[in-house]
A and B are shown apart, each in its own frame.
Chain A
């Protein structure tokens, strides 16, 4: 990432106290997103990707402890006073959540939810805000936007609700949009539409975007850089084309291999990853993927590999036995 990044996360650690002991949800994560760029964060449930996004937004649970730096637009977010942070969150930092039904307020009309944010953060009068709300709804592909303003979220389908949630997120022209599993609750055909919409609006507004997902297919064609997370750590980070061309981390490779392929014959056994992710309250001494890794050997079980670059300067991975070019996958 050249130049000053819009968002940079340095050495972020999130600890959550639980009845079973301390849970390290995010473990020394470094990330950066430049203006107008898209970062994909991929990982399975429990890998810490949602906690990381919460840490960026400073919306962690009360008991959680964050250490490290989160720099956004030249400001250190954890150090900001609450009031400043609140203004920043509505304006420059926006989020789209997985479930639009819970992220929209069920007792307010769509019009109210859209205009309120704009009145608050952009200091528009009601007429102007309404006008912009209609434009925004049209931009996110909602038919008959004027009539939608007076409707409630439950009167819309899931896909339409997610469009409204995106419109709310875009309403103050944010510099960074975080989309946390934006399409997981939606059907395939709607998923494609929503992803297209996000990509289009991002290009038009020159906004930075973070897409958090468990689906490598979602990030493949739509991001500039991908970070793969496992057990709270970023285990591989690279520009999207080089990641998919040459995966270095065995976990990334295994994750891709475990997806059923459309061009494979029926009843082809899938190369499954055996076992399951480690218990986050009992961190392993070595590489956290080593118990499930087929390349695991030697110091994998005793020493944690660091995220570092080897051949290409922007392709980072944390592995002692990376997959090398030419080796059969």
Chain B
């Protein structure tokens, strides 16, 4: 599970490139990203907003067209599938979004929303559908009898996220992409949802891609963590190892920037200023070089490749910290 080349990856992304144009300008959202996720593993994907992590998640599910590259799900290349076969495959992978309220149709009742995947998948028997909906609603901690007949706006953000999780799980998928599932929630609710996701993962035997910008949240749930910056992967590694000894200067910067709830830890003033450049015209070579304290001429000229810096840990940096 720790090794990059896991013997039996459920998902394998190879040299994925996603670009799209906004107002005539091309946005390089995902540039040449490769990663594996082993069966039963949780891979955390972190990065700042606009780094392409959500686009990567959607491109994996073919909700965004990739320019080039492959997405192998259980051996099948999803980028080559179309129509009905693609729809069949999609049922094995599900998505949970950041804004739980926006991801529920405001005009449909909770029972119908959670049953919808079953209807699409062709489960005809209404009794069977009701049984499975009730089962999954109870599993996420909601009372089916109280919830089913209501509309989404009658629920709080945390409850809506439970409903979204129920909808994602009702078809027994193998793979779930969680796209910032807790960043819209309050601290006290956040912990509930994170615990629920862990519990569901164990109960349904899920493989997770957990996308978030909060490193502490990602660390709490992930086996391995991938760090993304401006469309490229900077570093991938087992989470404890990566947090203890980051190899890429960007990972180190992210860890340093987290506010620690302890007044004795005075915030360090060493965080370099500057902001991420635009993904319309990313810097040449290493994309992080404009904010990196270690950057030199080589970083501008040559794109660093991901290379092994420690067992299971890869970093794309010419001057890695280890």
Give me the interface of A with B, judged by CB distance under 8 Å.
44-45, 141, 157, 159-160, 187-193, 195-196, 214-218, 220-222, 240-241, 244, 254-256, 258-262, 264-274, 276, 292
Q: Given the complex, which residues of B lie within 8 Å of A214, measured CB to CB?
A: 186-187
| Chain A residue at smallest Cβ distance from B199 | A269
Q: A256-B261, A259-B261 are in contact. Are A276 and B216 (CB under 8 A)?
A: no
Q: Given the complex, which residues of A lie within 8 Å of B158, measured CB to CB?
A: 276
Contact status B188-A218, CB under 8 Å: no
Q: Given the complex, which residues of A lie within 8 Å of B7, measured CB to CB?
A: none
User: Roughly how many angstroms separate A195 CA and B273 CA in the complex, as a whole number?
Assistant: 12
Q: Given the complex, which residues of B lie within 8 Å of A276, measured CB to CB?
A: 156, 158, 188-189
Q: A196-B269, A276-B156 are in contact. Are A267 and B221 (CB under 8 A)?
A: yes
User: Roughly how many angstroms separate A214 CA and B157 CA in the complex, as a whole number?
Assistant: 16
Q: Which of B186, B194, B259 contacts A45 (CB 8 A)?
A: B186
Min CB distance B265 to A, Å, is 6
Contact status B195-A272, CB under 8 Å: yes
Contact status A244-B262, CB under 8 Å: yes
Q: Which of B186, B223, B257 contacts A188 (CB 8 A)?
A: B257
Min CB distance B243 to A, Å, is 6
Q: Is B217 part of the binding interface, using a Cβ–Cβ cutoff of 8 Å?
A: yes
Q: Is B122 part of the binding interface, using a Cβ–Cβ cutoff of 8 Å?
A: no
| Chain A residue at smallest Cβ distance from B186 | A44
Q: Given the complex, which residues of A lie within 8 Å of B135, measured CB to CB?
A: none
Contact status A260-B220, CB under 8 Å: yes
Q: A220-B261, A276-B189 are in contact. Are A266 and B220 (CB under 8 A)?
A: yes
Q: Is B26 part of the binding interface, using a Cβ–Cβ cutoff of 8 Å?
A: no
Q: Which of B191, B214, B260, B263 contacts A258 (CB 8 A)?
A: B191
Q: Which of B189, B192, B257 contacts A189 (CB 8 A)?
A: B257
Contact status A44-B261, CB under 8 Å: no
Bitwise, B212-250 to A at CB < 8 A (1) or not (0) is: 011111011111000000000000000110010000000
Q: Given the complex, which residues of A lie within 8 Å of B267, measured CB to CB?
A: 192, 195-196, 221-222
Q: Which of B187, B195, B240, B261 contacts A266 (CB 8 A)?
A: B240
Q: Given the complex, which residues of A lie within 8 Å of B72, measured CB to CB?
A: none
| Chain B residue at smallest Cβ distance from A242 | B263
| Chain A residue at smallest Cβ distance from B220 | A260
Bitwise, B156-199 to A at CB < 8 A (1) or not (0) is: 10100000000000000000000000000011111110110010
Min CB distance A164 to B, Å, is 13
Contact status A189-B260, CB under 8 Å: no
Q: Given the complex, which residues of A lie within 8 Å of B99, measured CB to CB?
A: none
Q: A196-B269, A266-B222 are in contact. Are A217 and B258 (CB under 8 A)?
A: yes
Contact status B239-A266, CB under 8 Å: yes
User: When A and B form their complex, which 9 residue pairs have the shortest distance between CB atoms, in order from nearest?
Assistant: A217-B259, A272-B191, A260-B220, A258-B191, A270-B191, A273-B188, A187-B48, A44-B186, A260-B216
Bitwise, B260-277 to A at CB < 8 A (1) or not (0) is: 111111110101010100
Q: Is B49 part of the binding interface, using a Cβ–Cβ cutoff of 8 Å?
A: yes
Q: Which of B187, B191, B198, B275 contacts A267 (CB 8 A)?
A: B198
Q: Given the complex, which residues of A lie within 8 Å of B89, measured CB to CB?
A: none
User: Roughly how many angstroms separate A195 CA and B198 CA in the complex, as a whole number?
Assistant: 33
| Chain B residue at smallest Cβ distance from A160 | B275
Q: Is B200 part of the binding interface, using a Cβ–Cβ cutoff of 8 Å?
A: no
Contact status B219-A188, CB under 8 Å: no
Q: Given the complex, which residues of A lie within 8 Å of B215, measured CB to CB?
A: 188, 262
Q: Is B280 part of the binding interface, using a Cβ–Cβ cutoff of 8 Å?
A: no
Contact status A241-B263, CB under 8 Å: yes
Q: Is B254 part of the binding interface, using a Cβ–Cβ cutoff of 8 Å?
A: yes
Contact status A221-B189, CB under 8 Å: no
Q: Which of B198, B221, B254, B260 contacts A221 (CB 8 A)?
A: B260
Q: Given the complex, which residues of B lie within 8 Å of A266, measured CB to CB?
A: 219-223, 239-240
Q: Given the complex, which residues of A lie within 8 Å of B216, measured CB to CB?
A: 259-262
Q: Given the complex, which residues of B lie within 8 Å of A260, measured CB to CB?
A: 191, 194, 214, 216-217, 219-220
Q: Given the complex, which residues of A lie within 8 Å of B222, measured CB to CB?
A: 266
Q: Is B253 part of the binding interface, using a Cβ–Cβ cutoff of 8 Å?
A: yes
Min CB distance A264 to B, Å, is 7
Would you mind naming 7 contact pairs between A and B with Cβ atoms under 8 Å apart?
Answer: A160-B275, A244-B262, A259-B216, A259-B261, A266-B222, A266-B223, A271-B191
Q: A188-B213, A220-B262, A220-B263 are in contact. Are A44 and B187 (CB under 8 A)?
A: yes
User: Roughly how many angstroms separate A192 CA and B49 CA in the complex, as a whole number?
Assistant: 15
Q: Is B255 part of the binding interface, using a Cβ–Cβ cutoff of 8 Å?
A: yes
Bitwise, B85-118 to A at CB < 8 A (1) or not (0) is: 0000000000000000000000000000000000
Given contacts A196-B269, A260-B191, 17 further A-B contacts (CB under 8 A): A187-B213, A189-B254, A191-B257, A195-B259, A216-B187, A244-B262, A244-B264, A258-B188, A259-B261, A262-B219, A262-B255, A264-B219, A265-B240, A266-B220, A269-B195, A272-B195, A276-B189
Contact status A157-B48, CB under 8 Å: no
Contact status B258-A262, CB under 8 Å: yes
| Chain B residue at smallest Cβ distance from A187 | B48
Q: A190-B275, A266-B222 are in contact. Are A272 and B257 (CB under 8 A)?
A: no
| Chain B residue at smallest Cβ distance from A222 | B267
Q: A217-B258, A269-B198 are in contact. Are A157 and B191 (CB under 8 A)?
A: no
Q: A160-B275, A220-B260 are in contact. Are A258 and B156 (CB under 8 A)?
A: no
Q: Which of A157, A221, A273 contacts B265 (CB 8 A)?
A: A221
Q: A189-B253, A240-B263, A260-B217 are in contact. Are A270 and B195 (CB under 8 A)?
A: yes
Contact status A220-B195, CB under 8 Å: no
Beta-carbon contacts under 8 Å, B263-316 to A = 263-267, 269, 271, 273, 275
Contact status B271-A192, CB under 8 Å: yes
Min CB distance A229 to B, Å, is 13
Min CB distance A109 to B, Å, is 20
Q: Which of B186, B239, B271 contacts A193 (CB 8 A)?
A: B271
Among B187, B190, B195, B271, max chain A CB count under 10 A is at: B187
User: Roughly how many angstroms separate A264 CA and B262 CA in the complex, as a whole number?
Assistant: 15
Q: Given the complex, which residues of A lie within 8 Å of B255, measured CB to CB?
A: 262
